[in-house]
Amino acid sequence: MIAAQKPYEIRISLYSYARPPLPGRINFLLNRKLQPEVACQDISLDKLDFNQLGECADQLLEQGLTTTLHAPYSGFNPGSSKKRMRKRAYALAEKSMQLAQKLRARRVVFIPDSPSTAQRRISRAGWN
């Protein structure tokens, strides 16, 4: 006898940068049952209204939707040999986790390298 399997549930996500802000897109997301992937690459975390984003997360959760946070990668280098860079990376990670908590994010994506450094590595390796 084969055990009954739970049917797969298909969820569609919308990748949403912090600008235009999530609060301005909340109705669009809710009406279409889209789960946002919020990226904060072009805005300082200090300039975001965490309480307002928390209210958006509450609305999403009421509809059974979750959020993924793509933490800022600019300046995020926790493995740097420079103490100042490591300290900045740790502070950025802490602030990102605070934002993830407000967003009730199921996932947080950290990319510990700058795009230009990654591109140089790809070019040197001949992968491009």
Among candidate residues 34, 39, 42, 59, the one with its CA nearest the CA of residue 99: 39
Domain ranges of the chain: 12-125
- pLDDT of 101-124, one tens digit each? 999 999 999 887 655 555 565 566
Q: How confident is the model at residue 59 (pLDDT cuts 50, 70, 90)?
A: very high
What are the strands, taking DSSP E only, across the chain? 12-17, 34-39, 68-70, 107-109
Q: Which CATH number fits domain 12-125: 3.40.50.300, 1.10.510.10, 3.20.20.150, 3.40.630.30?
A: 3.20.20.150
Regarding predicted confidence, which is higher, 51 or 39? 51
**pTM score, whole prediction:** 0.70
By percentage, how much of the chain surpasses pLDDT 70? 70
The Cα 91–Cα 16 span in angstroms is 23
Q: Give all strands of the β-sheet with 68-70 in edge-to-edge order.
A: 12-17, 34-39, 68-70, 107-109
Burial class of 64 by CB neighbour count within 10 A (0 to 12, 13 to 18, 19+) = exposed
Helices (H) and strands (E) in the chain, counts: 4, 4
